Amino acid sequence: MANIGKALVIGAGIGGLTTAAGLLRQGIEAEVFEARPSPGRLLTGGGFMLWHNAFLALRRIGLDEAVAADAVRMRFHEFRSDSGRRLARWELDGPTRECGAPACALRRSSLHRVLTEAVGEHRIRPGRRLTGYAQDADGVTARFADGSAARGDVLIGADGLRSTVRATMRRGFEPPPRYSGYTAWQAITRLPGESTAPTGTFFNLWGRGGLRFLYCRLNESEVYWDAVTSDRAAAGIDTVGRTRGAALAAAYRRWPEPVGRIIASTEEEAILPVAIHDRPPGGGWSRGRVVLVGDAAHPMTLNLSQGAGQAVESGVVLADLLGRSEPGAVPETLRRFESARRARCAEMVDTSWRIGTLGLVHSTALSRLRDLMMYAFFDSVAKGRSYGLMLDDRLDRGPVPAASGRGTG
């Protein structure tokens, strides 16, 4: 059993719940505080990719098979232009065999459910908005808007991009998050049929005028998609008198099928616009017995599909280090955590930001030049670099978890 008795986790998202699950596995009691009265759509909705590295991390806390069971395994990552031309196609079975872990697409709610079950709902306190904390040599006391308080050996800020813990730690001297210049219109739609979206391929389409479109099948009847639009391209999308679906359909009207079919099949209320932000890489994730994890520490844009994966990795590493720490050594342990994670997360943040700038191209000539570059280099240079980021040899290896049968086709 660990020497540390209790951790206070602020935020019941992926980073917070992964950390709490890892702490419990280490024998450390964890109490999770969530500002929202219930998880809500923003916390559990939508779909996303979990790459090999995330499953390697989940394996260390015994949750990889449970997550893979409700996911669809990706066998290919295919890049295309808005004319339908294939620019690159990455085969994912090789990396899966190499590291012993798959890449999968799944509902965010599926991962959240597995993590919630691992932590236990009785340890999650909804409707508890943090207002501040105080720490001393022996522990940390968290204070909440409802007048309640909680005491623990360590406080973990997993409260997202606009973290209250981060702002408190830095005493308000913190610049706002960095806006990327584009919005992701995210949705899940009911659309059966392998001809529309074949199982096992993640499609990544790059267009002119600051438009991109990503989609993949989640199961036999559902497709997850993202329409990524630069500010200039999005200027007329969410206008008065026009629904989001109709505006997006007009914006992508010249794109190859199944883009139009996917948008047309989606219910209006299912389309959620998310303005994409990150923070430039930087240090200072901990102060005394307080530490940041996930988006509170290293938020990143969506271009590598690594935001959730890095939150999972950080949560597992932090829990492992705290499990080997004595109560009096918590500040030193938290500094070790940042030392272990900072360079890897910074590389993810920077790489994801650079990829995003490629999507801001508006001129036809520059778009064609970008497509030629992708055609020439994405099957070799970019593929090798991405695999290097996604396959983390520092994580334990083992047999590939048994993803659902629908993910093997």
Task: Please list the active-site residues.
Answer: 215
CB count within 10 Å of CB 363 equals: 10
What is the chain's alpha carbon radius of gyration, rounded to the nearest angstrom?
Answer: 21
3-state secondary structure string, 209-231?
CCEEEEEEECCCCEEEEEEEEEH
The DSSP result for 297-355, as a single string, is T----GGGS-HHHHHHHHHHHHHHHHHT--GGGHHHHHHHHHHHHHHHHHHHHHHHHHH
Q: Give the C-alpha separation, 275 to 224, whole Å.
A: 18
Q: Give the C-alpha separation, 290 to 323, whole Å.
A: 16
Q: Give the C-alpha separation, 218 to 197, whole Å.
A: 10
CB count within 10 Å of CB 397 equals: 13
Residues 6+ apart with CB under 8 A from 94: none
Alpha helix ranges (H) inside 120-228: 164-169
